[in-house]
Amino acid sequence: MVPRRVIVFILLSASFSVVYSSIAYYTLSKPPAQEFMAWGVFSPGGSLSNYFSGSEANVTVGKSLSWHFAVTNRMGSIQYVQIVYRLGNSTSASPNATVSGDAVPQLGNSSIFIPNAQTALMNFTWSIASRISRGGLIFLNMAINGKQVITSVGAVGGQRFRFFFELWIFDVASNSFQYGYKVQNSRVGVPLQVWFNSL
Same domain, 5 and 40: no
Q: How confident is the model at residue 12 (pLDDT cuts 50, 70, 90)?
A: low
Same domain, 74 and 7: no
Same domain, 177 and 152: yes
Same domain, 18 and 67: no
Same domain, 63 and 90: yes
Mapping DSSP to helix (H, G, I), strand (E, B) and coil, where does residue 112 land? strand
Q: What is the pLDDT of residues 67-114, one digit of tens each?
A: 999 999 999 999 999 999 999 999 999 999 999 999 999 999 999 999
Q: What is the pLDDT of residue 98?
A: 93
Q: What is the pLDDT of residues 27-64, one digit of tens each?
A: 676 666 788 999 999 998 888 888 887 668 999 999 99
The torsion angle over the Cα atoms of residues 95, 99, 103 and 106, rounded to 10 degrees, is: 70
Q: What is the pLDDT of residues 108-148, one digit of tens each?
A: 999 999 999 999 999 999 999 999 999 999 999 999 999 99
**pLDDT at residue 20 tops 90:** no
E strands within 46-103?
58-59, 64-74, 79-88
Same domain, 142 and 188: yes
Same domain, 136 and 73: yes
Q: Can you give the CATH number for the domain in which 47 is found?
A: 2.60.40.2550
Same domain, 67 and 105: yes
2 vs 75, more confident: 75
Whole-angstrom Cα distance, residue 57 to residue 152? Answer: 21
Q: What is the pLDDT of residues 161-182, one digit of tens each?
A: 999 999 999 999 999 999 999 9
Q: What is the pLDDT of residue 13?
A: 74
Angular region, 116: left φ>0, alpha ψ -120 to 50, beta rest: beta
Same domain, 46 and 20: no
Q: What is the pLDDT of residue 3?
A: 75
Contact 161, 198 (CB under 8 A): yes
Contact 190, 39 (CB under 8 A): yes
Same domain, 98 and 133: yes
Same domain, 175 and 189: yes
Same domain, 102 and 19: no
Give the range of the structural domain holding residue 185, as residue numbers without chain letter.
36-198
Q: What is the pLDDT of residue 10?
A: 74
Name the domain count of the chain. 2
Q: What is the pLDDT of residue 48?
A: 86
